[in-house]
Structure 1
Amino acid sequence: MSDWVRYSLLGLAAVVALAVVLGHLKRHRVSLPIPSIPLPAGIARSVFGWLLLSITVAAGTVGGLLWVLGWPKFPSSTSFSTTEILDLLKIGLAVVAGFGGVVLLAINFRKQRVAEAEHDLAIERSEREVTQGYNERFGAAAEQLAHASPAVRMAGVYAMAGLADDWTVKRQVCVDVLCGYFRMMAEGDSEELVRDAILRIIRDRTTSRDFAPPDWPATDFDFTGVDFENLDLSGLRFGGTVTFDRATFTGELTSFSRTDFRGKLSCHGTAFAAKQTTFSRVSASRMEFVGAEFTSPKIDFSGMTLSGVGIYFYRSRFLDPEVDFSVLDIEVGGLVFDQCEFERSDLDLSLLNTAVPQKFGRLVIDGCRFTGGLLDLSDVGDPPRLGRLVNTRFAETEIRGSAPWLDVRDVELIGTELPWATSTPPDTPRPEA
């Protein structure tokens, strides 16, 4: 047994020596007169590395085995029988076959890496081709929008909308183009048809069907400076920012009834002059009316649900309207009137509701001016957690309801009385400043 192990170790040492010699010849660019298989430089390095690793592992394994056996003596060559010599030959052939398997493994590994790299390149090439196709469609639709013919412009509107449906990565860009074109269109019958087509496309893409989300769920819409007549955006769902800054609403009815504003509604410098403006049963997260003017005879905010920042009126004017905020449900956020003017306006805040204990609502009237009209705070079941009426002037204004929960400070009353000022129950705690 000792001589068999010795000869195995000698064979392995010969293989190691051969590998070292071949490596030395390769480093010194010495060629041997033997046929060779041409391999790429990367594969050759990989094969040589795997061979060197396998030889090192084999040498370590044999050395560890000899160490465990106490470095036994090898038998003399004359002590081997023919059967044992054939066995040794089989072992040698098995070792050579193992090295061939290592070479094959290295080549297959390299092929796999090359195939994966080619697959990645094919995916990138396909994505570039798809993007190029989208860009070509975008250019063609933009050219149609700039065409002199109304029919071609109408086709461009639908082409841009179809591209927005397909190209989700650049959907906002396509919608911005449609909104920008909407803002730039001049007056005229043909232009009115194109505007109606754009509004119809927006309605279709922001309407929930069978409890499924809209096709454009989180898209911004910019209608800055646009004049609308009889605008109807009721029952829609907007997930992004909807901007109506410096826009004008006229006609018989402006309707946002049952619309869900999950993003922000921005109305800075907006004029609401339709005969009736309705935001009834709207679900809103954030609505801003800054410098807005309300001259509609009827403005309906009744039945709204506030679940975010709420509604903020700043330096807005209400001229002769009936402003209905009745049955307002404040979950989170609140209703804030900051430095607003009410002239001959009826502000109805009755049936204000924050009844659920977890809700945190607020009502703030700060720095406002009431001239004539009515402020109705009657039938408030469970008042907001924060209610303030501060730095406000009432002139010949009727105030209804009992609101001892309201923090009243620096209020000027001219021909006006606070009905709860003298009727506050003695055990009712006043809110802290």
Structure 2
Amino acid sequence: MTEQQKKDIFPPTQPRGTELFRLGLAASVATVLAAAAGVGALVLLIIWLLVGRPDLERVEYVSLSAGLNAIKLAGGLVLGVGGSVALVVAYRRQRLGEEEHLRQDQASQRDRTRLYNERFARAADQLGSERAAVRLAGIYSMAGLGDDWEEGRQACIDVLCAYLRMPFRPQGSLPAFERPTHARPRPWEAVVKTPDEATSSPLVAASEAQVRSSVIQVFRDRLWTGADVAWHGAYLDFTGAVFEDASFDGMDFTDCVVKFDDCLFLGECGFSETTWRRTEASFLGSVFGGRLGFEYSTIEESDITLYGDFTECTDANFQGLTFTSGQLRLLGPRDHGGSVSFVEANLAGGELTLHPSTLHKDSSIAFSRSVISGTRVTIEGGKHTAGNIWCNGVKVRGGSITLGAVHWAWEPVVLEGVEFSFDGALVTGGEIALRKVRIAGSDVHFDDLEMSGGRLDLSMCELTSGTLRFDNPTITGGEVAIDDPSGPTPMSAVARALELAGASIAAQTDTQTAP
């Protein structure tokens, strides 16, 4: 059969869109014409009725003016009908164009989604490669996809977080820590404690460390204020990951949820100059086996919880922290030691709570030279046999800093060998409180205290041994509250010394009595 015969038997068909347009247009034009005819007949009928239904007589002669008027009337009707038909045609064309544009957009969206899914699958395959170079390529491919694909960005973030949660054997040694008997093992414990020749090779370990460092670099490049494509508002789940010498410095966690639960931190892990804004971050059950630096970071309207295991190597450093609102809670230092520092911090709002269980020889808590202008600082509970609590040069302008049992039913905080210093403190407002504290062998001193306002609360403070001294104080205002300042107790001698220095002594007003 020739091509001409095929064309004769099977004539070419019009595109379906054109065919539908023609059918719809014909129906619409017919409808308009029928409506115009009906409207015209109805108008004539109404006019005939209004003029009294005159008899329609045969007219033999039509004047020139009447003929011209009839022609004008017919022309107007034709123009009206034609205009209506033109409007219908234009409307149908516009609607068909919009529908076609919508179909093209939907097809384009399906094509983009298919392309993104293909890129996602290729990047995921690369991440599962045994070769470090291929895994690196997969990381950057997944990150680039997260930049391009806003709807699927969280899925890309989840994959990168999952890679960091994969088993990893750090090069550093694991410090001593205690896991409560009722707690389940952390995901990394079996990997870290069990030798594996396949992953113990220095070359393999170094390669994997480089890959993991690149994942963190991907997050750092996208979680900062000047990022071209910012991943703010992300959900970052690092639960059970191992971080060795990891750097999160400079990241901007805005509107994020960040989970570092059950993680292991070894070496130098940094969060310096990070911003936590309207973010929830948790370090529940983590082990801090090295330095954890939060220097010069900012916390605004965020809730951050570090309830983990401090070790003898732990150094949680918040030097220069700016804290304006929200909550910051730390469970430490713990039984194995460690230290926490808020030196030179600007504490302007929110609640900062420390729960140290026991301070040992090398343990310390420091607020030296910090400015407390609105934050409620609380160091709750514990029996401390050694170590140091340094608050030298602290400036209290508002808010409060309290050591003791906050709730009336709690056991007293016992200071048996710790040195607690407020030397050089400046109090112009707010409150310093040692509430329900038993000094039994410790040296607590407020030397060179300057106080012009605020309140020094020593209520329910018991001195059985050791010292509580105020050498060379300058007190020109404010109030000092002491339990039974006139009684025959060591605290009464403290009250008399402060009264001689110019302090206004008030009998303690117990706010912790049982209900």
TM-score range, shorter chain: 0.7 to 0.9
State the identity %: 29
1:410 is the counterpart of 2:442: no
Residue 124 of structure 2, aligned match among 132, 138, 142: 142
CA RMSD of aligned residues (A): 3.5
Residue 119 of structure 1, aligned match among 60, 77, 101: 101
Letter in 1 for 2:380: D
Partner of 1:352: 370
Q: 1:294 to 1:280 in 2, by over 3 A?
A: farther
Please list the CA deviations of residues 53-100 of structure 1 after superposition, one character each: whole Å capped at 9, or x if unmatched.
656776787889899x98798998467412421331231132133213
What is the CA–CA distance in structure 1 between the aligned matches of 2:343 and 2:215, rounded to whole Å?
34
Are the equivalent residues in 2 in contact too, given 1:267–1:292 (CA < 8 A)?
Answer: no
Please list the CA deviations of residues 273-326 of structure 1 after superposition, one character each: whole Å capped at 9, or x if unmatched.
22x432110112332111332433643211101133131124662644342212
Residue 350 of structure 2, aligned match among 324, 333, 336: 333
1:220 is the counterpart of 2:235: yes
What is the CA–CA distance in structure 1 between the aligned matches of 2:148 and 2:349, rounded to whole Å?
36
What is the CA–CA distance in structure 1 between the aligned matches of 2:354 and 2:89, rounded to whole Å?
76
Partner of 1:377: 391
What is the CA–CA distance in structure 2 between the aligned matches of 1:134 and 1:361, rounded to whole Å?
47
Are the equivalent residues in 2 in contact too, given 1:337–1:368 (CA < 8 A)?
Answer: no
User: SS of the counterpart of 1:147?
Assistant: coil
Residue 395 of structure 1, aligned match among 416, 420, 424: 416
Letter in 2 for 1:323: V
Residue 244 of structure 1, aligned match among 233, 255, 260: 260
What is the CA–CA distance in structure 2 between the aligned matches of 1:213 and 1:371, rounded to whole Å?
52
Q: 1:173 to 1:432 in 2, by over 3 A?
A: farther
What is the CA–CA distance in structure 1 between the aligned matches of 2:35 and 2:507, rounded to whole Å?
85
Q: 1:249 to 1:328 in 2, by over 3 A?
A: same
1:257 is the counterpart of 2:335: no
Are the equivalent residues in 1 in contact too, given 2:334–2:356 (CA < 8 A)?
Answer: no
User: SS of the counterpart of 1:312?
Assistant: strand
Letter in 1 for 2:369: L
Partner of 2:63: 81
For structure 1, list consecutive stretches of 5 or more residues without a partner in the other structure: 1-37
For structure 2, list consecutive stretches of 5 or more residues without a partner in the other structure: 1-19, 169-198, 200-204, 406-412, 446-455, 459-494
1:189 is the counterpart of 2:206: yes
Aligned length: 387
What is the CA–CA distance in structure 1 between the aligned matches of 2:265 and 2:217, rounded to whole Å?
18
What is the CA–CA distance in structure 1 between the aligned matches of 2:52 and 2:506, rounded to whole Å?
100
Are the equivalent residues in 2 in contact too, given 1:281–1:304 (CA < 8 A)?
Answer: yes
1:173 is the counterpart of 2:155: yes
Partner of 1:29: none
Per mean C-alpha deviation after superposition, the further-off stretch among 340-349 and 423-432 is 423-432
Are the equivalent residues in 2 in contact too, given 1:280–1:303 (CA < 8 A)?
Answer: yes
User: SS of the counterpart of 1:169?
Assistant: coil
Partner of 2:183: none
1:280 is the counterpart of 2:262: no
What is the CA–CA distance in structure 1 between the aligned matches of 2:69 and 2:76, rounded to whole Å?
10
User: SS of the counterpart of 2:116?
Assistant: helix
Please list the CA deviations of residues 229-288 of structure 1 after superposition, one character each: whole Å capped at 9, or x if unmatched.
22222222233233322222223x3322212223233211222222x4321101123321
Q: 1:430 to 1:417 in 2, by over 3 A?
A: farther
User: SS of the counterpart of 2:319?
Assistant: coil
Please list the CA deviations of residues 186-236 of structure 1 after superposition, one character each: whole Å capped at 9, or x if unmatched.
442332232232233233333444xx5764333333332233222222222
What is the CA–CA distance in structure 2 between the aligned matches of 1:104 and 1:117, rounded to whole Å?
20
User: How far did residue 44 of structure 1 move?
Assistant: 5.2
Greater helix percent: which structure?
1
Are the equivalent residues in 2 in contact too, given 1:145–1:157 (CA < 8 A)?
Answer: yes
Letter in 2 for 1:271: V
Partner of 1:17: none
Partner of 1:27: none
User: How far did residue 42 of structure 1 move?
Assistant: 4.5
Per mean C-alpha deviation after superposition, the further-off stretch among 394-403 and 95-104 is 394-403
Partner of 2:14: none
Are the equivalent residues in 2 in contact too, given 1:277–1:296 (CA < 8 A)?
Answer: no
Are the equivalent residues in 2 in contact too, given 1:405–1:430 (CA < 8 A)?
Answer: no
User: How far did residue 178 of structure 1 move?
Assistant: 1.7
1:267 is the counterpart of 2:268: no
User: SS of the counterpart of 2:165?
Assistant: helix
Please list the CA deviations of residues 322-346 of structure 1 after superposition, one character each: whole Å capped at 9, or x if unmatched.
4221222223312112464433322
